[in-house]
Structure 1
Amino acid sequence: MTATLLNHRAEGPTSAPPLLLGPSLGTSYALWDRIAPELSITHRVVRWDLPGHGGSAADLIGPGATVADLADLVLALADSLGIERFAYAGVSLGGAVGLQLAVHHPKRLSSLAVICSSAHFNGAKPWEERAARVRSEGLDWLVESADARWFTPGFTVPRLVQDQRDADPEAYAACCDALAAFDLRERLAEIAAPTLLVAGRDDQATPPAHLREIADAVPGAALVELPRAAHLAPAQCPEAVLTALRAHLDGGAKRGMEVRREVLGDAHVDRAQARQTAFTARYQDFISRYAWGEIWTDPTLSRRERSMITLTALVAHGHYDELAMHVRAARRNGLTPDEIGAVLLQTAVYCGVPAANSAFAAAQRVLAEDGEA
């Protein structure tokens, strides 16, 4: 049976925000081995292999392939996993796929990180020549120069060099065809997704100037240049790339913290942050990112409506301490004391009179403290 999807590896909770990671030409998803497990703490990470690389079938693309063809394969993979919208990060050819997605499929991307890549790859001729030689001679001559093309002198990652050796020559050449035809410079200003560019200062394949060109054209884009990093920065400088990606991907937590403060008040959030320990830090991040950064920011329901639902749910489960906190939150969200009372009266019918008794007592105490009862 012919494979129709890119080979991939998924890590992290299925309920977490999805993040797709794209590889460089000649490598497999092993390029992300030092980074993906860390990112999977807060994201559903899906890293994929190019056609003819790693575990992906070689016949997924053919001669004359384009980066658009690769982007379509990535979307097909996301669809198969039930992923509608996702953050994306890619290296070199994988980064070009990200740019293609951002320009032509903007509704699918929540954010974009382009690492050691470019909006063009120095014209068609070098890639046409490489494709022709690979088709006639295979890949051994490229294996010999892999370390020099990918890393600074004296550094190597044997697994990635082996990926180059094991790649299918025809599929590799088709990827070269895609790079030969790729040029999105005229469309960069259309990119609306929050965008991070990461350049290796010692990258000879896609020098920092290529990333600066993208950063200058994409509205609001950020650029990070890594010293002592060449073309495969995620393998050579994983800590630096991880730090840049975490800061970039943390937008949901940042917005979540803003909403959390708007609804619960600075005093409450400051107390919660002051009590935070290394043991509870990931939980606090989860609350800010998921509950406040995704659910409370969803415009489908107003904050008034969310407060009414939250009060009801807290009464139903007997969480009266948290109910008191959300009575104050309901006032900030525009509910009057009478409306809060009406919500609690509704809970007497559907959650029981004893639960409503406790709820009214808790709400009465909060409103009295605030001079409103």
Structure 2
Amino acid sequence: MPALSWRSDGSADAPPLVLLNSVGSSTAMWTPCIAPLSERFRVIRIDTRGHGDSPPSPPGSPCAIDDLAGDVLATLDGIGLDRVALAGLSLGGMIGMWLAVHAPERISRLAVLCTSAHLEPLQLWADRSAAVREKGTEAIADAVIARWVTPGFAERDPVAFRAIRAMFTAVDAESYAQCCDAIGGMDQRSDLARVAAPTLVISAEHDPATPLPHLKLIADRIPGARLEIVDGASHIATYEQPARVAALLIDHFRGGGTTAAGYAVRREVLGDEYVDAALSATTPLTAGFQDFLTRYAWGEVWTRPDLSRRERSIATLAALVTLGAEHELTAHVRGAVRNGLTPAEVVEVIQHLAIYAGMPRANRAVAIARDALDRGEDRSS
């Protein structure tokens, strides 16, 4: 197979997170979740053969789950990634489970969403691949998409619904049929106990394609796996509950703060100059504290999913102004701007605090903020 198409979002220095799509979709199915994920990870989305921008699979090409997994491994080799966290939905989850069993050195953590280790009836997949080979994906589009989203989704979000349908009908018919054959021929149930990567299993409340018993079986057989159910969503849960899905993935893949992740976030918020100065001032006496600060505050707390960085900056400014922590305020004023606050909003936050923290501290904080923002503008001009 020619190389698969892939795209990357987020900092190149962030921990890599690979996302795999369902059969009949493309990496666009992850778009509603990308913003929060790419704040914390280098998100790499890989299109299955014949899906999205990946080249089609010629008739007669070998296409079992191991072949599709081989495509992913070859793509990761081409990118230069040896070990990654991976999340896959439906077919993407099937590929992810195969990789976790047969290439465990490549998968650090795994999440599988709305998927199965074995899907019956097998005749359904044979009939579907035959129909698509004869008439194209348009012939089955409405029936398939009715299982992807909950009733009423088209009325609630007609733009998204049209985009989903267009994504499905754009898939190469032969590649889609081959992937259906791969699903019909798959049975990974006996292999699940061999998955060693920490695993999150996500089921969607209204998913008729891979209902809860399929996900429960996976969670029961993978040692230590955790099962979560997303309410108010069907098979492609990333469209109907993107915030919930992203929060679950962030919580799972964060896996505890690390120094490397902490430094990445610390630099993004406070800037390289500030962090480099802090590091240059580190001594053997203070090195342990610097590691603790970076790992715990920046790698653990600042990466938690329930508040955005913008919201965390507002909370941090409130604490620093109230405490009179002037030595920290300049860096966090500039960090707040990096996290999306305007200079006017920074001053508005401080003005609000004058009521609760006291006028003298707010007055001093406004002066510090003015100087910090003025100097920041001078450096960028």
TM-score when normalising by structure 1: 0.69
CA separation of 1:189 and 1:61: change in aligned 2, threshold 3 A: farther
User: Is contact 1:120–1:185 with CA below 8 Å preserved after alignment?
Assistant: yes
1: CA distance between counterparts of 2:288 and 2:243? 43
- Seen in structure 2, the aligned counterparts of structure 1 residues 85 and 55 have a Cα distance that, compared at 3 Å, is same
Q: 1:167 aligns with which of 168, 171, 180?
A: 171
Cα contact 1:10–1:44 (8 A) shared by 2: yes
**Structure 1 stretches of 5 or more lacking a match?**
261-279, 288-312, 331-373
Q: Take 2:288 and 2:54, find their aligned partners in 1: how far apart are those partners?
A: 54
Q: Distance in 1 between matches of 2:103 and 2:280?
A: 45
Aligned to 1:34: 32
What is the letter of the counterpart of residue 240 of structure 1? R
What pairs with 1:1-373 in structure 2 (closer than 5 Å)?
4-59=2-57, 62=60, 65-156=63-154, 157-253=161-257, 282-283=265-266, 319=281, 322-326=283-287
What RMSD, in angstroms, separates the aligned Cα atoms of the two structures? 2.9
Query: In 1, Cα distance between the equivalents of 2:10 and 2:252?
Result: 18
User: How many equivalent residue pairs?
Assistant: 279
CA distance in 1, matches of 2:54, 2:60: 13
Q: Is the 8 A contact 2:58 2:174 kept in 1?
A: no
**CA 1:202–1:318: 2 relative to 1, 3 Å:** closer
Q: 2:339 maps to which residue?
A: none
Q: 1:318–1:219: structure 2 CA closer, same or farther, 3 Å change rule?
A: closer
8 A Cα contact 1:28 1:163, kept in partner: yes
* Displacement of 1:284: 9.0
Secondary structure of the residue aligned to 2:165 is helix
How far off its partner does 1:4 sit?
1.4
Deviation at residue 218 of structure 1 after TM alignment: 0.4
Q: For residue 80 of structure 1, what is the amino acid of its counterpart?
A: G
Question: Which whole-Å CA distance do the structure 2 matches of 1:328 and 1:203 have between them?
Answer: 48
Percent identity between matched residues is 39
Indicate conservation of the 8 Å contact 2:90/2:115, yes or no. Answer: yes
CA distance in structure 1 between the partners assigned to 2:268 and 2:127 by the alignment: 50
Q: CA deviation at 1:145?
A: 2.0
Any gaps of 5 or more consecutive residues in structure 2?
155-160, 271-275, 292-381
**1-structure distance, mates of 2:247, 2:98:** 25
Shift of 1:256: 5.5
CA contact (8 A) 1:67 1:96 kept: yes
Higher radius of gyration, 1 or 2? 1
Q: 1:213 Cα shift?
A: 0.3
Displacement of 1:146 after TM fit? Answer: 3.5
TM-score of the aligned structures, taking structure 2 as reference length? 0.68
Query: Deviations along 1:19-58, whole A, 9 cap, x unmatched?
Result: 1100011111100001123211121111011111111111
Post-superposition CA distance 1:38-82 (Å, at most 9, x none) = 211121111011111111111268455101111000011101111
Contact 1:63 1:173 in 2 (8 A): no
Deviation digits for residues 77-130 of structure 1, max 9, x if unmatched?
A: 101111000000011001100001011100000000000001111142211111
Deviation for aligned residue 1:217: 0.4
- Cα distance between partner residues in 2 of 1:214 and 1:285: 37
d(CA) in 1 for partners of 2:284 and 2:92? 48
C-alpha separation in 2, matches of 1:43 and 1:281: 10
Q: Secondary structure at the match of 1:188?
A: helix
